[in-house]
Structure 1
Amino acid sequence: MEQIKHWIAENSTIYSIIKYVFLVAFVLVIIQLVRRILRKHVTDTAARYKSQKGIEIIGYIILIFLSFSYFTGNIKDFTLVIGLFSAGIAFTLQELILSIAGSLYIFIVKVYKPGDRIEINGIKGDVIDVDSIYTTMMEIGQWVSNDNYSGRIVKLSNAFVFKGPIYNYSQDFPFIWDEFNLPMKYESDIELAKSIIIKIASRTLSEYTSNSKSQWKDVVNKYYIEDALVDPTLAITLTDNWVQFNLRYIVDYRKRRSVKHILYDEIYKEIQKTDGSVILASNTLELIKIPEIDVNIKQNI
């Protein structure tokens, strides 16, 4: 015991650092235990997620408070500790601080939250978690088409909220405008084609149109933005090969792919019932005449 006391007296700084590390480890273990208990006993998903995040934030506050009180009260050579700690990790620490600041910015400004579909730093996906350092997303796109999950879970530093634009598909206005083109032959009944497309679009999209109108009014009142038409619209363009119908409509951001499939399918079925009055166009190559080729073969005897 006398030797231990003598060593502690001679190496008080090292002893204080070791004691501080154990104290931090103890607090972190307590945080994890409390989170595990909440995970097992809180059945509601939203309440479980929020309670675990609350415990995590409280734990960080306790660690910051203990660090300040411990360093200023017990370690005399505090500048040496800071110098050793900051040497070699200055850039990492800067990125870490920026990530923590980004997490506070996300929660306070409500840039996005779990459940939102966003695109940030060229990555699109659904936010499934936001912690003090990272935003976790279920990726959309890449090698799969349209708005399907790729199956990859992406962790992105919260520092990226300060480094570029953030596209939010669901905040304030959970609808997007989409469109597609339908080429029709010039000999088609254009008025009949227009009525078919508008009728099917109005019937299929009626729910999305009615739900989006009230929410779009809230967006117009909240932001400096012009009012926009949310009803399906049809525009016609004359090209060298066909009459092009451009259908523009509003849809729930999660139903874009399925709704486009329904529209294509219903419009095609109605066009088939017109008995040739409306004909879809396509790129074709027509040979008018095959040139005559005169071949003379001379045989040497």
Structure 2
Amino acid sequence: MNQIKNWILENPTIYSIAKFVLIATFVLVIIQFLRRFLRKSISNTTARYKSQKTVEFVGYVLLVILSFSYFTGNIKDFTLAIGLFSAGVAFTLQELILSIAGSIYIFVVNVYKPGDRIEINGIKGDVIDVDSMYTTMMEIGQWVSSDNYSGRIVKLSNAFVFKGPIYNYSQDFPFIWDEFNLPIKYGSDIELAKSLVIDIASKTLSEFTANSKAQWKEVVNKYYIEDAIVEPTLAITLTDNWVQFNLRYIVDYKKRRVTKHELNDSIRKAFEGTNGKVVLASTTIELVKIPEIKVDINP
């Protein structure tokens, strides 16, 4: 034991490193202890998540400050050390620095948060975690249709918040506009078809329409944007084969697929109940004239 003690005392560098490791370990243990304490003490999911991330962030910043002040020997030299360190690693660690800066930007500006549905760098999904380096998402789309989960968890560098647009489906206004087309056969009772479609859409979407009106007023007050129609609207276009109905409506961003199914199924049943007055169309081909065919059979 004395030999080890003498060896450490004779090598001040080893002693200094060992002492720093103990200090860093102590800080990390304190961070983990506080995170576990908050996880058990706070019942609200959002508050618990934010408090844990705050403790983690403050702890790591404190650890960096302690590291520089320890090895420079004087806290006054901290600014100089930061400058020298930044000049040395800015190029090689630019992606890492951008990721950390991105996490701070996401937290301060509230670009998105866990629970939001976003699209960034061509990837669409629900945000399930944001840490100091990565944004973790549950992917939707890709090989599955509509807005269903694909089952893949995607980790994306926070640096991408500076590199392109971020589409947020749920922030400020958790509704989106959707639409689909209905082909109505020529000769059908168009007025009856219009009333059926509007009545079904109004009843099916009444809850979304009422909730979105209040939300949209807040958006108009917050941003420079004109007022919008949130009630279902129907536009008619005449085509070569049928009368095309275009139904446009507002829906909760997480219920787009199931709502479209309910609308289509209800409209189909309503049309079938008209006893042929309203008929869905399909592609038709009309032969105006059959060309003459001459067959010359030599004996």
Q: Give the TM-score of the pair, scaled to structure 2.
A: 0.86
Unaligned 5+ segments in structure 1 are none
What are the residue-to-residue correspondences of 1:1-301 with 2, within 5 Å?
Answer: 1=2, 5=6, 9=10, 11-13=11-13, 15-40=15-40, 42-73=42-73, 91-285=91-285
Query: Could you tell me how far 1:43 is from its partner in structure 2?
Result: 4.5
Q: Indicate the RMSD between aligned Cα atoms, in angstroms.
A: 3.1
CA pair 110-151 structure 1, distance change in 2 beyond 3 A:
same
Following TM superposition, by how much is the alpha carbon of 1:221 offset from its aligned partner in structure 2, in angstroms?
1.1
Against the structure 1 CA distance between its residues 297 and 268, is the aligned structure 2 distance closer, same or farther, given a 3 Å change threshold? farther
Quote the sequence identity (%): 71
Question: 1:79-134: per-residue Cα shift (whole Å, max 9, x none)?
Answer: 99x999997x7555221111111111111111111111111111111111111111
Q: Take 2:167 and 2:194, find their aligned partners in 1: how far apart are those partners?
A: 34
Deviation at 1:33, TM superposition (A): 4.1
Change (3 A) 1:25 1:3: closer
- CA shift in 2, pair 1:258/1:3, >3 Å: closer
Letter in 1 for 2:117: R
Q: Is contact 2:236–2:244 with CA below 8 Å preserved after alignment?
A: yes
Shift of 1:25: 3.6
Shift in Å at residue 72 of structure 1?
1.8
What is the deviation of 1:182? Answer: 0.3
Question: 2:238, 2:138 → 1: CA distance?
Answer: 42
Please tell me whether the aligned partners of residues 241 and 284 of structure 2 are also in contact (alpha carbons under 8 angstroms): no
> Per-residue deviation at 1:46?
2.9
What runs of 5+ residues in structure 2 fail to find an aligned partner? none
SS of 1:274 mapped into structure 2? coil
2: distance between equivalents of 1:22 and 1:40? 27
- Once residues 290 and 18 of structure 2 are traced to their aligned partners in structure 1, the CA distance between those partners, rounded to angstroms, is 92
CA distance in 1, matches of 2:260, 2:8: 76
1:135 shift after superposition: 0.8
Seen in structure 2, the aligned counterparts of structure 1 residues 209 and 83 have a Cα distance that, compared at 3 Å, is closer
Cα displacement string for residues 153-199 of structure 1 (whole angstroms, at most 9, x for unaligned residues)? 11111111111000000111000000000011111111111111111
In the superposition, the TM-score normalised over structure 1's length comes to 0.85
Q: Deviations over 1:53-79 (max 9, x none)?
A: 1221221122022112212217xxx99
For residues 187 and 7 of structure 2, what CA distance do their matches in structure 1 show? 103
